[in-house]
Structure 1
Amino acid sequence: MSVAEPEETVDFFAGVLGWAVIAEPGGSFSGWVGDRLAAQVVAGVQGWRVFFGGDEPRALTGNSSVDTGRVLHGPWAPPPRHGEPCWAELMTAEPEDEYWSRELGWQVEPGAEDFVLFTSSRHGDPRPVAGRLKTGRAPGWLTYFAVDDLAAACARVSELDGRVLLEPTTVPTGLIASVEGPHGGACALLEHPQGWGGNWAG
């Protein structure tokens, strides 16, 4: 994630998500859950950037990229723990489902009126890997983080001067809320997902 105030922002999310924070060279910070990296926070203005596993590192549209190496979070990784990424949804006014199929080999499964589910067979049977929701907002990925208690997490957001943008509500993914830190970094919280994608994990 790139925000104007990386240190204050990583401290905010550490307070909500329980990250252990490490200061990195160049003024960036990493947030950890146990031995797994949950996020990196750097100076900038682009917000969250999502990285997908693949064979060739490259930039994608929607503030996302492909990287090689071991994937720490996703449908074939261990179940998400409190504070770890657990889902991603592309918010866009102009769906380009063919682009994601071409770039990442994803299959498209139409869902509700403005939603599609992307699945991947990269490591065997197809599994849900991401969603796409048609909205009127600027295109970009909404990152979800697992929490054990959504009401408590939202209360903590308010205590730390953040904002609850969407109060807890049930959607096909599960019980979610949308929150934002005092210096940006809007994301979603998903209560106790059993796997990547919450209820989509089956």
Structure 2
Amino acid sequence: MTEAATATRHTPGTPCWVSLMVHSLGTTEDFYADLFGWEYVPGPEQLGPYVRAVLNGQEVAGIGEMPPDRHLPVAWTTYLATDDADVSAEAIRSCGGTVAVGPLDGGDAGRVAICSDPLGAIFGLWQARGHMGTQQPGPPGTPVWNELITQDTSTVGKFYQHVFGHEVQTHASGPDDFDYLTLQLGGRPVAAIHGVGRSLPHDRGPHWMAYFEVEDTDAAAARVEELGGRVVEPPREGIKGRVATVADPEGAVFTVVRSRRGD
């Protein structure tokens, strides 16, 4: 990552980091190193066995290992930036959400919390300190988009709007029953909420989906299977470009995307 003095602080409400807690850290490191070209540096000692993924000198994501006695679902977590994690945590509670962990001190990372919105989708809060999180998305292997998959957009749209100050814009194109909101800050889209009604996966519930840039969506999906993962939804054309939803060998689901130029 760039030096702290030159790293850009994320506007509050912007997705600023993604992290993953797994049962086998070494095996997961190997999977993503092959798929995305990641290298790794040690993370904060306070987080236990934890590494930060590095691409072209910039830190792009975190991977940690659960204690042996923990059997939590393995899933990517999207973190939203805040200037004050404690104030944001109180706003989350007052708007019907839940704060499950923290806020707590994460060393040079700053102050963090794990929360959920009123319909149960888990996300993180991050008040950055020396480590600013993922910088400007760019090359393949970097997280480039985050999208909330939930039952409907109305309730949670208001939640994120009130807690983080997002401007909500309804997606204009597509069929009339396409339930999709873009969350904007300063007129710039930073994330989205996709209401899928009864099509929500029963084994996952509402969840934030992390998108990672790739050079070739079809080739990346095929490589996931070769590395012991699986394809959840095959390559297709989506709003952000050509996408495929995949899962790593421990079952963490994410999306690979070949973004359209100009998005």
**Structure 1 length as normaliser, TM-score?**
0.84
Equivalent in the alignment of 1:153: 220
2: distance between equivalents of 1:154 and 1:22? 26
- Per-residue deviation, 1:18: 0.9
Residue identity opposite 2:144 in structure 1:
C
- Per-residue deviation, 1:7: 2.2
Equivalent in the alignment of 2:189: 128
Identity among equivalent positions (%) equals: 25
Q: Of 64, 68, 80, which residue of structure 2 is paired with 1:52?
A: 80
Residue identity opposite 1:12 in structure 2:
F
- 8 Å CA contact retained: 1:86, 1:193: no
- Per-residue deviation, 1:21: 2.3
Equivalent in the alignment of 1:114: 179
1: distance between equivalents of 2:209 and 2:220? 18
Bigger relative contact order, structure 1 or 2 (CA pairs below 8 A, ≥6 apart): 1
User: Greater shift after overlay, 56-65 or 33-42?
Assistant: 56-65
Equivalent in the alignment of 2:50: 28
Equivalent in the alignment of 1:2: 21
- 8 Å CA contact retained: 1:20, 1:32: yes
Q: Residue 252 of structure 2 aligns to a residue in which SS?
A: strand
- Per-residue deviation, 1:19: 0.5
1:161-181 CA-to-partner distances (Å, cap 9, x unmatched) read: 111111110011111011111
Q: CA RMSD in A?
A: 2.0
Structure 1 gap segments, 5+ residues each: none
- Per-residue deviation, 1:22: 3.0
Equivalent in the alignment of 1:92: 150
Structure with higher Rg: it is 2
How many equivalent pairs are there? 189
- 8 Å CA contact retained: 1:165, 1:179: yes
Matches within 5 A, 1:121-200: 121=186, 126-135=187-196, 136-137=200-201, 138-192=205-259, 194=261
2: distance between equivalents of 1:72 and 1:3? 20
2: distance between equivalents of 1:175 and 1:38? 21
**Structure 2 length as normaliser, TM-score?**
0.66
